[in-house]
């Protein structure tokens, strides 16, 4: 059966024609969709496994023989995941970083990204900052941007990232077993502490405010660690919604529980300085840490700590996997600590 309008572009397709909707034309002096892609996103590909990048209907890439493709996507909505007025450089960085963090948790080597960009208009200085932040991190991880889509609408950034692992070696959430050690990279709670500072819940001295702002705006995905951990970890997850929630996901997937010693949580100097005001909550329940939480058998302790030294990443052993399916936190005095909320949840009432 013929469908009317089937040759027309969909209402979301671009800056130009829109079915049935009078669309405001772009302001004079501003860029159209194609010039925008050319100006800010169409950079020469650097990877030999990209047969076709930006400019055709789809990208063509090849995965090395005997490897598996690993793919992730994250959507960042202005006003939900970042402030409307956030520095566009940090938005560009973070949009890619959150995906790199997912691949790190799988032990994958990142390779190719696509970018879905929804913008209310074409603001050159925003585009410049955004693309700078994006490509600075992309080139550090040898990632090529191979395609995307650019449409008009409320500011939203979607990055899809693919990479690969040798067949059958991806780190999963489901491999933890009773008796395994639990580890965390980096420090927890600095992004949450920064949000408390922004909201006025705490007042940080400038040097602390600057340090935690860096953690919130420029998370550092643990790609190199993740790749090495494939051979050492039994399970892994990246901490995007807070340790309590994400360790919970790992435990559920593995059919196990966990005991965590809060005294062993890795906390930054600014966090420790304000501990009396903020307690454990930012470290356990705020989102946006993008550190790895992983488990491993006790025999691998020395190897894991050596990895941290090799990559200059703090690695803390914070607890043990248990057989009973409960997640239990012990405070410094040995009493049980119950987190007031499990983590950031989008659909919680
Ligand atoms: P199509 O209509 O086939 O979806 P488009 O006209 O939307 O293609 O895009 C033209 C080319 O530009 C495609 O190769 C697409 O992948 C790429 N592209 C569009 N937007 C972006 C973006 N924000 N970042 C990177 N590449 C993009
Ligand atoms: Mg096309």
pLDDT in tens, the chain (349 residues): 333 333 433 334 444 433 333 334 344 345 688 889 999 999 999 999 999 999 999 999 999 999 999 999 999 999 999 998 999 999 999 999 999 999 999 999 999 999 999 999 889 999 999 999 999 999 999 999 999 999 999 999 999 999 999 999 999 999 999 999 999 999 999 999 999 999 999 999 999 999 999 999 999 999 999 999 999 999 999 999 999 999 999 999 999 999 999 999 999 999 999 999 999 999 999 989 999 999 999 999 999 999 999 999 999 999 999 999 999 999 999 999 998 876 555 554 4
Q: Where are the domains of the chain?
A: 9-166, 181-337
Ligand 1 atom with minimal separation from the 53 CA: 14
Q: Is the CB of 53 under 6 A from ligand 1?
A: no
Closest CA to 180 of 70, 38, 320: 320
Q: Is the CB of 92 under 6 A from ligand 1?
A: no
**Atom 10 (ligand 1): residue with closest C-alpha?**
55
The model's pLDDT over 31-49, given as tens digits with 9 standing for 90+, comes to 688 889 999 999 999 999 9
- In the reported structure, the alpha carbon of residue 36 is separated from the centroid of ligand 2 by a whole-number distance in angstroms of 17
* DSSP conformation class of 77: E
| pTM of the shown model | 0.90
Rounded to whole angstroms, the Cα distance separating 290 from 216 reads: 10
- In the chain, at which residue ranges do the beta strands (DSSP E only) sit? 50-52, 60-61, 67-77, 109-119, 144-152, 156-166, 181-185, 235-239, 257-261, 291-296, 315-322, 327-330, 336-337
Domain 181-337 in the same topology as domain 9-166: no
Domain 181-337 CATH superfamily: PurM-like C-terminal domain (3.90.650.10)
Rounded to whole angstroms, the Cα distance separating 21 from 11 reads: 8
CA 163 to chain CA centroid, nearest Å: 15
Q: Is the CB of 117 under 6 A from ligand 1?
A: yes
Q: Is the CB of 41 under 6 A from ligand 1?
A: yes
**Which architecture characterizes domain 9-166 according to CATH?**
2-Layer Sandwich (3.30)
């Amino acid at each position: 059966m013929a469908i009317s309008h089937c040759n027309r572009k969909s209402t979301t397709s671009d800056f130009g024609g829109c079915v049935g909707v009078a669309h405001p034309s772009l302001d004079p002096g501003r860029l159209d969709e194609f010039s925008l892609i050319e100006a800010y996103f169409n950079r020469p590909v650097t990877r030999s496994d990209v047969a076709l990048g930006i400019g055709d209907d789809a990208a063509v890439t090849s995965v090395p023989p005997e490897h598996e493709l690993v793919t992730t996507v994250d959507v960042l909505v202005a006003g939900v995941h970042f402030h409307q007025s956030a520095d566009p450089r940090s938005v560009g960085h973070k949009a890619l970083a959150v995906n790199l963090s997912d691949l790190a948790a799988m032990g994958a080597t990142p390779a190719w990204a696509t970018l879905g960009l929804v913008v209310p208009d074409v603001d050159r200085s925003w585009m410049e900052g955004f693309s700078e932040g994006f490509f600075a991190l992309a080139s550090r991880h040898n990632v090529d941007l191979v395609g995307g889509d650019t449409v008009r609408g409320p500011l939203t950034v979607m990055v899809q990232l693919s990479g690969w692992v040798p067949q059958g070696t991806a780190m999963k959430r489901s491999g933890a077993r009773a008796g395994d050690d639990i580890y965390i990279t980096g420090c927890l709670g600095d992004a949450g502490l920064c949000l408390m500072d922004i909201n006025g819940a705490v007042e940080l001295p400038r040097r602390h405010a600057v340090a935690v702002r860096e953690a919130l705006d420029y998370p550092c995905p643990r790609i190199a660690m993740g790749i090495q951990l494939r051979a050492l970890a039994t399970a892994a997850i990246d901490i995007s919604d807070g340790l309590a929630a994400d360790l919970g996901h790992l435990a559920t997937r593995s059919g196990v529980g966990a005991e965590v010693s809060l005294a062993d949580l890795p906390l930054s100097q600014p966090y420790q300085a304000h501990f009396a005001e903020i307690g454990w909550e930012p470290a356990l329940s705020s989102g946006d840490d993008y550190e790895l939480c992983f488990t491993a058998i006790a025999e691998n302790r020395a190897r894991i700590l050596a990895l941290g030294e090799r990559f200059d990443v703090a690695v803390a052993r914070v607890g043990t996997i248990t057989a009973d399916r409960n997640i239990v936190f012990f405070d410094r005095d040995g009493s049980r600590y119950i987190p007031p909320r499990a983590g950031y949840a989008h659909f919680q009432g």
